[in-house]
Structure 1
Amino acid sequence: MPSDWAELIHEELDSEEFSQLEKNLSAAYEELGELIQPAPDNVFKALRETSVEQVRVVLLGQDPYQTPGLAQGLAFSIPATIKPGWRSFPSSLRNISKAIALDGYSGLQHGDLSHWAKQGVLLLNATLTVQLEIAGSHANFGWQKLTDCLLYRLALKKPELIWLLWGAHAQKKKALIEQASQTINTPNSAISATILTASHPSGLSVYRTHEPFLLPGDTGSCQHFKKVNELLEKRGEQPITWS
């Protein structure tokens, strides 16, 4: 883990829970090798690509892709060699590309979102590893306690972040973010995070909530990409180049 992130949650890294997580993960890699994704040196890639000071936007995922060849340590992101027209290109990224285009930008040329990370978009999964072909297989390893701690400490340190919570799993973190805002606020201070919510962009669930990521017939979007840039520009910051 990069030193700036380790310092942010240093108490958690000294805990028995983190020690058990290390043991669980070590045993899984030792037993199953390459069936565990992403590769060990990419487990903390999201934190390596976006430093604590760089973070402006947080996009939360659930766990890495369990399909072989996709997971690379960044939420929603896949290698650039996998093109949008290919069958292996995830539906979530197809719909993200549609939403970007509907917001007035160019759609994705590939699914590698590293360029977002380098602009201050933290692409973090709640669980950082998975066994191939078994979704949620490492959900009980102890990752979520670690990432919850990280998100809470980040929200305390940087109270004006923009949070993108897509789907029910990500939206469970809303209370954590709001708790951090309440902790730092005083009667004379009203600093608060911006939390944008929508349905998860994968499959048909993209349309099926009261806050759809895409409108039926792909006639409109949740406009999150446009809203993020409007907020950043209002603060005098550079907008994100999404495409």
Structure 2
Amino acid sequence: MSLSLPFGWKEFIVSMADELNEIVTILKKEMDNGVIIFPALNDVLRAFYETPLSNVRVVMLGQEPYKGIGKANGLSFFVNKGYPVPPSLTNIFKEISDEIRSFNIPPHGDLTKWCKLCSAKGGVVFVLWGKTASTFDKEIDTSKNTILKVAHPSPFSANKGSFGCNHFTIINDLLDTSIDWNL
């Protein structure tokens, strides 16, 4: 199966193209055998289509995609409108609300607006939430980029540093233009 990515991304990840093609091939084979995968195959690489490479300023990594039709949509922590906001995202909204008084907690978990935001002073801000996400820190060039790490915002670990981490304020301080986190 040939991997198709939008302009900019394909050139950026050319060294990983074989691995990505292999992942997509494995997922397709699983689906052909009746296995339901989350997110759906057409959403596995959704992040690349939502945000052009030249616009990337903040990357948020978590642990695993949500499971369930309509919940898993290929974007970290996001769920489609019409589905209950998951506990981890509820905690993210709480943290933003505690940090940024003008933030209004939305009644949905569709964060695609965040894919279209901001400009940076330089480099990318990588937000690594949880142990699994934190293992990617060695892959990030810290001479050009900023890494923010803390416990996953899950109800099981949010009290271990996620609450009160001020990541959203720090992100806004690092960007040319502050993000309006309202949806």
TM bucket, shorter chain: 0.7 to 0.9
Q: CA deviation at 1:231?
A: 1.6
Distance 1:96 1:18, change over 3 A: closer
One-letter code aligned to 1:203 = P
Could you say which residue in structure 2 is the equivalent of 1:144? none
Q: 1:108 aligns with which of 105, 110, 113?
A: 105
Q: 1:23 aligns with which of 22, 25, 34?
A: 25
1:166 aligns with 2:129: yes
Aligned residue for 2:153, secondary structure, equals coil
Given that 1:50 and 1:120 are in contact with CA atoms closer than 8 Å, whether structure 2 keeps it comes out as no
Q: CA deviation at 1:61?
A: 2.3
One-letter code aligned to 1:229 = N
Q: CA deviation at 1:19?
A: 4.5
Could you say which residue in structure 2 is the equivalent of 1:42? 43
Task: Point out where structure 1 has 5 or more consecutive residues left out of the alignment.
Answer: 83-87, 122-158, 182-190, 215-220
After superposition, the C-alpha distances for 1:186-224 in whole angstroms (9 at most, x for unaligned) are xxxxx432111111001121113xxx111xxxxxx2111
Q: Whole-Å Cα distance in 2 between the matches of residues 20 and 229 of structure 1?
A: 37
After superposition, the C-alpha distances for 1:164-184 in whole angstroms (9 at most, x for unaligned) are 11111111111111xx34xxx
Q: Whole-Å Cα distance in 2 between the matches of residues 68 and 231 of structure 1?
A: 36
Aligned residue for 2:144, secondary structure, equals coil
Given that 1:164 and 1:196 are in contact with CA atoms closer than 8 Å, whether structure 2 keeps it comes out as yes
- Normalised by the length of structure 2, the TM-score is 0.86
- Normalised by the length of structure 1, the TM-score is 0.66
Q: CA deviation at 1:18?
A: 4.3
Q: Whole-Å Cα distance in 2 between the matches of residues 213 and 18 of structure 1?
A: 31
Given that 2:61 and 2:76 are in contact with CA atoms closer than 8 Å, whether structure 1 keeps it comes out as yes
Could you say which residue in structure 1 is the equivalent of 2:72? 71
Q: CA deviation at 1:91?
A: 0.6
1:9 aligns with 2:13: yes
Q: Whole-Å Cα distance in 2 between the matches of residues 164 and 74 of structure 1?
A: 14
Q: Whole-Å Cα distance in 1 between the matches of residues 21 and 149 of structure 2?
A: 33
Given that 2:118 and 2:178 are in contact with CA atoms closer than 8 Å, whether structure 1 keeps it comes out as no
Could you say which residue in structure 2 is the equivalent of 1:213? 162
Aligned residue for 2:79, secondary structure, equals coil
Q: What stretches of structure 1 move > 2 A for 4+ residues in a row? A: 17-23
Task: Point out where structure 2 has 5 or more consecutive residues left out of the alignment.
Answer: none
Q: CA RMSD in A?
A: 2.1
Instruction: State the identity %.
Output: 34
Q: Whole-Å Cα distance in 2 between the matches of residues 171 and 107 of structure 1?
A: 29
